[in-house]
Chain A
């Protein structure tokens, strides 16, 4: 089992390293960071621009492979470089990963567990009311890009707050007072209230996505021989379905998790921009606007790690549920 996991991990690690490198190389090749200085008034001298860019390893006069080698050796020593604004990429990244984690952690859990539960239950109650309602709803949400969903939720919040004359649903920012101590009851409540809409906008999409797959795999399992055997040996219908059926049906969906981690992050980019959370997604968008190679590369590393972690989790789930891979 350890050997299996290790082999899968090496495969992922390899892919992820290449993906991060491609991100860096593309950004380094395409971006023109000097535009940030050329647009200033008064325009700095060519020599100043050159030193500024050289200090950031973004001077386009240097060959792209030299820049790449510098970047790789920096990353290996834990140095992610300097932003266009002069700050350290690593410290900004650490702060923003915190924000994104607070946004995504809950949504991921709700999204994947919710999707599995809705899918399994929909399959068990096929063509009953619950199944019809969830299938219809997931079709509708499936046709809605994350940002339209987020905007609709915002419109709902505006309407809700106006009609009830409250400020219960916050639709911008992560917290009302960023300087308040974190572990404080009123602060936590405030953060939770800010979290409701962004979490809904990310997790509704993943519930719709996962539940469609889960429903299909579960339906396949429902007609299988081993489930009939389980019933025949005396298990009740529910016992058979959940102990034997759902367990098997979750395996392919768990595999899906590793690739949908990327989807989740893309969804989070929209959510962060619309709800003005200062996380990794927002950083990515602003960095592209600033031609900031180092920051964009850092986002590339982040998504790669996300894929790696999700891959690991899905492999562990597979190993835990499927005895055949435990050799």
Chain B
């Protein structure tokens, strides 16, 4: 309700509020899209990600070289017409390699990011909705995972998943990245629990899991969408970091991390080997972060207000949540801007 009122004001401007009552209200999806597109940074980010998808999946077909091909006439040559990004020490085409790495980053980021958020949403919502011992046990699990450095754990696990398909990285990366989101969802679920529509459902004997799926999670959908974007960036980073040390994607397959690691060996002479994969990575992460910012502005019209002035209750809760990374939803919203 608040959203519609706000949305109306947002679209038609506060001065024409009275006339607005006669207008046909715009659908929510349309509004979100319109607000998102109004944000320049976010639109640029989206365009960049789409272009990167095209480059990563269509680009290799336009290039005459496969990432496994070796050009015996060109070892470590600079970028040229035949080799757009130059070649590596063994004569592989860097463009094909980089695009292959980018494909991995994009797939891992998208799938693992969404997986992370879904898992976090379920754990957080169950902890917040049920409370009591369920909450205590789940929160304790969240704390425990927060104390264990994900990078350390995944590196230790790496000998175990070495021979297996690289797709296994997706659940693993997600498994060590869900904690902060779960905390935020838990706080949200706790406050939604006492709302009338949830109580009404409970009094009608709707089982808890169905209340969570039908009422709690849809109500924090915007938060979850924003968070999924941020988790996309986090998991991309996680995979590239692991592969950098040889713990992630294994040769002969490539990832942006392995490319950067290989190129880092001869830093002073063959810089294009380093520059192209690195630019791809940074631009991708920047674009994803910008999309996240834009989505937040588009999906949560209150974020702007929360940023300027936080209610006393919210601030209190934030301090009370002293063990948490971030106690309050509003808080995170404001932070990411």
Interface residues of A (CB under 8 A from B): 8, 11-12, 15-16, 18-19, 22-23, 26-27, 30-32, 139-140, 142-145, 147-148, 151-152, 154-155, 158, 212-213, 215-217, 219-220, 223-225, 251-252, 255-256, 259, 262-263, 265-266, 269-270, 273-274, 284-285, 288, 291, 296, 299-300, 303-304, 307, 318, 322, 324-325
Contacts of A147 in B (CB 8 A): 241, 244, 260
In the complex where A30-B156, A223-B310 touch, is A217 in contact with B281 (Cβ < 8 A)? no
Distance of A62 Cα from B260 Cα, bound (Å): 41
Name the contact of A262 in the complex, choosing from B147, B247, B282, B285 (C-beta under 8 A). Answer: B147
Distance of A22 Cα from B156 Cα, bound (Å): 11
The distance from the CB of A274 to the nearest CB of chain B, in whole angstroms, is 7
B111 within 8 A of A: no
The distance from the CB of B286 to the nearest CB of chain A, in whole angstroms, is 4
Contacts of B310 in A (CB 8 A): 220, 223-224
0/1 per residue, B240-251, Cβ < 8 Å to A? 110011010000
In the complex where A19-B147, A26-B156 touch, is A148 in contact with B325 (Cβ < 8 A)? no
Distance of A69 Cα from B245 Cα, bound (Å): 31
B241 and A139 form a contact (CB under 8 A): no
A266 and B281 form a contact (CB under 8 A): no
9 A-B pairs within 8 Å (CB atoms) are namely A15-B147, A26-B157, A145-B285, A219-B307, A223-B310, A252-B331, A266-B152, A273-B245, A303-B152
Contacts of B198 in A (CB 8 A): none
Contacts of A27 in B (CB 8 A): 156
Contacts of A151 in B (CB 8 A): 260, 264, 267, 274, 278
Please report whether the interface of chain B is mostly helix, strand, loop or mixed according to DSSP.
helix
B151 and A322 form a contact (CB under 8 A): no
In the complex where A15-B144, A223-B308 touch, is A303 in contact with B149 (Cβ < 8 A)? yes
- Chain B, Cβ-Cβ closest to A214: B335
Name the contact of B334 in the complex, choosing from A152, A220, A251, A263 (C-beta under 8 A). Answer: A220
A299 and B260 form a contact (CB under 8 A): no
In the complex where A144-B285, A155-B271, A219-B308 touch, is A16 in contact with B147 (Cβ < 8 A)? yes
B98 within 8 A of A: no
The distance from the CB of B154 to the nearest CB of chain A, in whole angstroms, is 10
Contacts of B195 in A (CB 8 A): none
Knowing that A143-B282, A285-B245, A303-B149 touch, tell me 16 more A-B residue pairs with CB under 8 angstroms.
A15-B147, A19-B147, A26-B153, A31-B159, A143-B286, A145-B241, A145-B281, A148-B282, A158-B267, A215-B335, A216-B335, A220-B307, A223-B308, A252-B331, A288-B156, A322-B319
A224 and B159 form a contact (CB under 8 A): no
The distance from the CB of A320 to the nearest CB of chain B, in whole angstroms, is 13
Number of A-B contacts (CB under 8 A): 140
A154 and B278 form a contact (CB under 8 A): no
Beta-carbon contacts under 8 Å, B199-249 to A: 233, 237, 240-241, 244-245, 247
B43 within 8 A of A: no
Distance of A194 Cα from B281 Cα, bound (Å): 28
- Chain B, Cβ-Cβ closest to A255: B322
B148 and A22 form a contact (CB under 8 A): yes
The distance from the CB of B245 to the nearest CB of chain A, in whole angstroms, is 6
Name the contact of B286 in the complex, choosing from A139, A154, A215 (C-beta under 8 A). Answer: A139
Contacts of A31 in B (CB 8 A): 159
0/1 per residue, B139-163, Cβ < 8 Å to A? 0000110111101110111111000
In the complex where A22-B148, A252-B327, A262-B149 touch, is A270 in contact with B241 (Cβ < 8 A)? yes
0/1 per residue, B323-337, Cβ < 8 Å to A? 111110001001111
- Chain A, Cβ-Cβ closest to B159: A30
B289 within 8 A of A: yes
The distance from the CB of B169 to the nearest CB of chain A, in whole angstroms, is 16
Contacts of A154 in B (CB 8 A): 267
Contacts of B267 in A (CB 8 A): 151, 154-155, 158
A291 and B159 form a contact (CB under 8 A): yes
Contacts of B326 in A (CB 8 A): 252
Contacts of A30 in B (CB 8 A): 156-157, 159-160
> Which of B156, B157, B247, B278 gathers most chain A CB within 10 Å?
B156
Distance of A16 Cα from B318 Cα, bound (Å): 24
A270 and B244 form a contact (CB under 8 A): yes
The distance from the CB of B101 to the nearest CB of chain A, in whole angstroms, is 14
B307 and A216 form a contact (CB under 8 A): yes
Distance of A322 Cα from B315 Cα, bound (Å): 13
A274 and B147 form a contact (CB under 8 A): no
In the complex where A148-B278, A216-B331 touch, is A142 in contact with B149 (Cβ < 8 A)? no
A143 and B159 form a contact (CB under 8 A): no
Contacts of A26 in B (CB 8 A): 153, 156-157
Distance of A27 Cα from B153 Cα, bound (Å): 9
B309 within 8 A of A: yes
Contacts of A273 in B (CB 8 A): 245
Contacts of A18 in B (CB 8 A): 144
0/1 per residue, B296-327, Cβ < 8 Å to A? 00000000000111101001001100111111
> Which of A18, A27, A219, A251 gathers most chain B CB within 10 Å?
A219
- Chain B, Cβ-Cβ closest to A212: B335
0/1 per residue, B163-188, Cβ < 8 Å to A? 00000000000000000000000000
